[in-house]
Amino acid sequence: MSKGALSGIRVVDLGTVIAGPYNTMQLADLGAEVIKIEEPGAAERRNLPGAGAIGYQSPDLVPVGSYRDRNKEAMSLNLHNPKGLEILFQLIRTADVVTENFSPGTMDRLGIGYEILKEINPKLVYASVSAFGQTGSYRHHRGYDILAQARTGFASVTGFPDDPPTRAGNSITDYFTGLLAAFSILAALNHVNSTGRGQAIDIALFEGLFMTLEGYVERTLNDDEVPSRQGNESLTHGASCGVYYAKDTNLIAIDVHRDAWWHAFCESIGKPELSTDPETTDYHARSTNPNKTRQIISDWAKQYAAADAEFFLTSRGIPAARVLTLQEMVELPYVKERNLYPTVDHPRAGPITLTGSPYGGLSKTPGTVFSHSPVPQEHRDTVLTRVLGYSMDYINELAGEGAFSV
């Protein structure tokens, strides 16, 4: 187990799907002891091979849950069985944090809501993630990333002006919300250290994505403006910060919104007169004349292959980047230099490569990826003996009484 910045913090993780496990993955990467509690059968589904898509489960593919549940211990409990529920209560008595992302009311119906648990552990930090929060008129609405993108208006400003609203490619809502939950947990733990009192945390997918609409929402609320879809151009900077076709039909992102970058660009392409052209001389002029700005950048980019254009600009201090495929990205020297894809051994899949910890930059306590995602009941016996002091005879007795299975 890691000796990271959060070493000594114990988390009982009841999270599922993406937002919940991604939240506790942050804590585990930083050294917290995360004990994942799953309903019977959930670990088997999490360990299915493949990307999780229906009909896409080749036995040669990496298990679905390999990424978000790395660095954790796991066991299954039947929370509808009094013995299984009692085990959970005992674990929570020893915990600093409990996390869950069930629909509001589920934990209360199981008898493990915050009002009950704070009585047995007053210092407990209890983090709940749901689609629309624990309060409000939408609290009982179910929801995943695509619904949050729809209801927040995020999809309405994503895509090209003449195309329908578009979903962002990945489940960004879950990842943003997971990060917000982890950040909130750290703030609440600091409060515990100061006061000795825990608290409940209510995080919603809606608000996780809502926070990314900074700029859009302010324009809507304050200026009565209806922001439009900008395609591959910045909402704020327009054509000066966009994606353009190169000669080889590959794409390159170019950012010359700052006047210094624009002037360097004009000088570098042999057209210094554009720096003093009243229609493009400064940020305001370029924003007022986006078509001319767009045409200048586009005409230049089409003269070069994307890789050559990228080198030409970046070597002159002008921000630019080719639009890479994932296959191209993982081959970048940078990825290897920063250890962004470490390898761990998985008992079923063998050596597997995972996305690395983003916290490797902590100079004293860097985040690490040190273990695979657990297979079903992998840590049941070690957790129950180490944390609760159970004997193997008692664990076997509990198993016979259905504490771990249906």
Q: What is the pLDDT of residue 346?
A: 86
Query: Which residue intervals of 196-246 are DSSP H helices?
Result: 205-210, 216-223
pLDDT at 268 over 80: yes
Q: What is the pLDDT of residue 55?
A: 46
Q: What is the pLDDT of residue 287?
A: 94
State both tokens at 366: 């860097």
> Which is more confidently placed, 170 or 3?
170
pLDDT at 52 over 50: no
> Last residue of some domain: 300, 322, 344?
322
Residues 276 and 365 in one domain: no
* Residue 217 lies inside a defined structural domain of this protein: no
Residues 172 and 145 in one domain: yes
Whether the CB-CB separation of 279 and 292 falls below 8 Å is answered with: yes
Q: What is the pLDDT of residue 226?
A: 80
Read off the CATH number of the domain in which 174 is found: 3.40.50.10540
Residues 208 and 273 in one domain: no
Q: What is the pLDDT of residues 83-127, one digit of tens each?
A: 999 999 999 999 999 999 999 999 999 999 999 999 999 999 999
> Which is more confidently placed, 42 or 155?
155
Which of 220-229, 244-253, 256-265, 339-348 bottoms out in mean pLDDT, i.e. has the lowest?
Answer: 220-229
Q: What is the pLDDT of residues 336-358, one digit of tens each?
A: 999 999 999 988 788 888 899 99
Which of 13, 29, 96, 174 is labelled catalytic?
A: 174
Residues 203 and 276 in one domain: no
* Residue 227 lies inside a defined structural domain of this protein: no
pLDDT at 367 over 90: yes
Q: What is the pLDDT of residue 59?
A: 58
Instruction: Look at the chain and report how many structural domains it folds into.
Output: 2
* Residue 329 lies inside a defined structural domain of this protein: no
Residues 140 and 54 in one domain: yes
Residues 187 and 262 in one domain: no
Helices vs. strands in the chain: H and E counts, helices first: 17, 12
- Percent of the chain whose pLDDT exceeds 90: 81
- The distance from CA 348 to its chain's CA centroid, rounded to whole angstroms, is 26
Residues 121 and 266 in one domain: no
Structural domain of 269: 233-245+251-322
Residues 240 and 179 in one domain: no
- Alpha-carbon gap, residue 89 to 112, rounded angstroms: 8
> Last residue of some domain: 299, 322, 345?
322
* Residue 374 lies inside a defined structural domain of this protein: yes
Q: What is the pLDDT of residue 289?
A: 95
Q: What is the pLDDT of residue 54?
A: 43
Residues 311 and 363 in one domain: no
Where residue 69 falls among pLDDT bands split at 50, 70, 90? Answer: very high
Q: How many residues does the chain have?
A: 406
Residues 41 and 128 in one domain: yes
Q: Is 224 a catalytic residue?
A: no
Whether the CB-CB separation of 128 and 134 falls below 8 Å is answered with: yes
Q: What is the pLDDT of residues 197-242, one digit of tens each?
A: 999 999 999 999 999 997 788 888 888 778 889 999 998 899 999 9
Q: What is the pLDDT of residue 50?
A: 62
Q: Give, in order, the Cα–Cα distances in Å from 43 to each of 37, 80, 268, 373.
A: 9, 17, 57, 10
Residues 316 and 343 in one domain: no
* Residue 388 lies inside a defined structural domain of this protein: yes
Q: What is the pLDDT of residue 65?
A: 67
* Residue 328 lies inside a defined structural domain of this protein: no
Beta-strand runs (E) in 278-388: 320-322, 343-346, 350-353
Average pLDDT over the chain reads 92
Q: What is the pLDDT of residues 159-202, one digit of tens each?
A: 999 999 999 988 999 999 999 999 999 999 999 999 999 999 99
> Last residue of some domain: 322, 353, 373?
322
Residues 79 and 188 in one domain: yes
* Residue 361 lies inside a defined structural domain of this protein: yes
Q: What is the pLDDT of residues 369-383, one digit of tens each?
A: 999 999 889 999 999
Which of 21-25, 214-218, 247-251, 259-263 bottoms out in mean pLDDT, i.e. has the lowest?
Answer: 214-218
Helix (H) or strand (E) holding 343, with range, is: strand 343-346
Read off the CATH number of the domain in which 290 is found: 3.30.1540.10
* Residue 74 lies inside a defined structural domain of this protein: yes
